[in-house]
Structure 1
Amino acid sequence: MVTSQQPYPFDDAWKASVDRSSFEWMAYCESASLVKRYIRTRLRDGKDAAVAEFEDTCELYGKNGAQGAARVARIREHFQLIWANEREAMKVKVLEEDALPKAA
């Protein structure tokens, strides 16, 4: 496996400085949310179910023509970056969130 020499684009400095209403932030949040959903599904139902759910989501988003295809490409790229760099921290967050009592 070849590892990229590029710095992680979504590091703490970026998160501290990015405009929270920008497209870049929203795109990051969308992919981060999908990573958390993947982790949650993987823990509950296994890797195959998590992969299938992610692929179903990408297929659904991809149905919106060229714009959908671009969105899916971006999601896949960001997902891989986030997975490689933040998955352990996100897994901790998922486990914490799932341990919290649910509001009525």
Structure 2
Amino acid sequence: MFDKLNLGELGKVFEDIQEKAKKLQEESENRIFTAKSGGGLVKVSINGKGEVVDIEIDDSLLEDKESLQILLISAVNDALKMVEDEKKRVAMSLMGDVNPFGQK
């Protein structure tokens, strides 16, 4: 089973993966994920680090605090889910590159 394992190349493989992981993480952190709720009455943008970077609220909601709160919570949760999905996508992408047996 391990006869094709090239230990000399294993270190290089892990270095390459680490470099790719760092690049993918930086790219993900710089992406902006935007979610809308209430048919676009509330829009929340979150970066790949999970930080809220923008919130847009339609003026019609300013007099309806309860609706505003519900729509804001919904948009924030949706945007955070997008960030988590991106993290999973990046992790799966990296896992696909791990192959210490030298086979493609």
Per the normalisation by structure 1, the TM-score is 0.29
**Greater share of residues in strand:** 2
**Greater share of residues in helix:** 1
Per the normalisation by structure 2, the TM-score is 0.29
The higher radius of gyration belongs to 2
